[in-house]
Amino acid sequence: MKMTPNLSFDDVLIVPQYSDIQSRSEIDISNDLGKLNLSLPVLSAPMDSVTESVMATAMAKNGGLGIIHRYNTIQKQVKLAKKSRTPSVAAAVGVTGDYLDRAVALYNAGVKIICVDVAHGHHVLMRHALEVLRNTLGTQVTIIAGNVATLQAFNDLSDWGADAVRVGIGGGSICSTRIQTGHGVPTLQSVLDCAASDRPAKLIADGGIKNSGDIVKAYAAGADFVMLGSMLAGTTETPGDIRYKQFPGQCNPSKIKVYRGMASEDAQKDWRGKSSSVEGVATTIPYKGHVKNVLRSIERGVKSGFSYSGARSFAEFQAKAQLIRQTASSQVESSTHIERVN
């Protein structure tokens, strides 16, 4: 079997180019998702430790989009959508069980963006669900679907009715799919491959994104949007209470919040009473404060990234951006590496 090298975010850099941009205020990073224009092309992941009504509201206020998770009853999810106090809220459904009743209830409650959310989206159940949802809800709803890892899968989901496709399998910080199953493709490589599609669906890079530099690389590779979990987790707006934990050597306890994959044992037991195929973990992470500060930092990083390529718009950036591969020693050089003196 012939194997070809595949690239992850840390394997590449973007070549700086001539720029006459004098201020980040000159740069427009907005992008359209269906009828919605996002001034910050960032989506929050439909996870029960990331997005409920408070996060969805905050995402909308800051130019992004929040997708309310599906790990609850239809009635509770509809209530969360209504509490979001924004017309640009999205919500997730699955591909089996009550997915159609859930989608119809959400649509009737004012949700016009439905995310069909499964781990392996290139599947006969996804095809059936997309066809049923599109026939039932028509073209007034924007449908996001995923996740996938290949160009063929991206094309198929677009052909089956998806307006946007989540690209990335197994790259999330609390996902263990690649460890448990041996399957996956580095997210950046999947984005590069799927960006070659001639289908109309928008591309959402999802998984393995650690910082604003990775977001800029995803856009350079062809993504229209990014979906974030770990970068937004631990903020005030995520579900769950702030906890306190005393770490060795600390005088005062640190603030933490729970962050967990929806295929983790804890999450599965909570939402369906038992665990089966465990492909994620649950953990705690440091409390980060309000999500608006995280989003503003992302926005500044992305706009600075565009300026290094001399681009004032999304389309101009993708036309100009040039990715190069970096060596292991270059990766060390790319990170902060000053020797500290204590």
Beta-carbon neighbour count of residue 155 at 10 Å?
A: 18
Is residue 63 one of the residues assigned to a domain?
Answer: yes
In a domain, 5, yes or no: no
- The 3-state secondary structure of the chain reads CCCCCCCCHHHEEECCCCCCCCCHHHCECCEEECCEEECCCEEECCCCCCCCHHHHHHHHHCCCEEEECCCCCHHHHHHHHHHCCCCCCEEEECCCCCHHHHHHHHHHCCCCEEEEECCCCCCHHHHHHHHHHHHHHHHHCEEEEEEECCHHHHHHHHHHCCCEEEECECCCCCECHHHHHCCCECHHHHHHHHCCCCCCCEEEEECCCCCHHHHHHHHHHCCCEEEECCCCCCECCCCCCCEEECCCCCCCCEEEEEEECCCEHHHHHHHHCCCCCCCECEEEEECCECHHHHHHHHHHHHHHHHHHCCCCEHHHHHHHCCEEECCHHHHHHHCCCCCCCC
What pLDDT was estimated at residue 117?
A: 97
Supply the pLDDT for residue 342: 58
Written as six digits, the tokens of 88 are: 């640009």
Q: If we measure between CA atoms, which residue out of 138, 175, 171 comes closest to residue 282?
A: 175
Model pLDDT, residue 111: 96
Give residue-wise pLDDT tens across range 287-327: 999 999 999 999 999 999 999 999 999 999 999 999 999 98
Q: How confident is the model at residue 263 (pLDDT cuts 50, 70, 90)?
A: low
Q: State how far the alpha carbon of 114 is from the alpha carbons of 57, 90, 173, 220, 255, in Å.
A: 16, 6, 24, 26, 34
Torsions phi, psi of 209, nearest 5?
-90, 120
Looking at the domain assignment, is residue 268 inside a domain? yes
Q: Are 130 and 140 in contact (CB under 8 A)?
A: no
Residue 45 within any structural domain of the chain: yes
Residue 2 has what pLDDT?
A: 66
- pTM to 2 decimal places: 0.94
pLDDT score at 93? 98
pLDDT value, residue 109? 94
Of 153-162, 209-218, 234-243, the least confident: 234-243
The CATH number of residue 106's host domain is 3.20.20.70
Q: How confident is the model at residue 172 (pLDDT cuts 50, 70, 90)?
A: confident
pLDDT at position 1: 63
pLDDT of residue 284: 87
Mean pLDDT of all residues in 20-36: 96
Number of structural domains found in the chain:
1
pLDDT band at 170 (very low <50, low <70, confident <90, very high): confident
Taking all residues of the chain, what is their mean pLDDT, rounded to a whole number? Answer: 92
The whole-number average pLDDT for the span 149-178 is 93
Residue 337 included in any domain: no
User: What range does the domain containing 306 cover?
Assistant: 12-327
In this prediction, residue 137 has a pLDDT band, given cuts at 50, 70 and 90, of: very high
Q: Which residues are catalytic?
A: 175, 177
pLDDT in tens, 57-106: 999 999 999 999 999 999 999 999 999 878 789 999 999 999 999 999 99
On whether residue 149 sits in a domain, the answer given is: yes
Does 3 map to a domain? no
For residue 16, pLDDT beyond 90: yes
254 part of a folded domain: yes
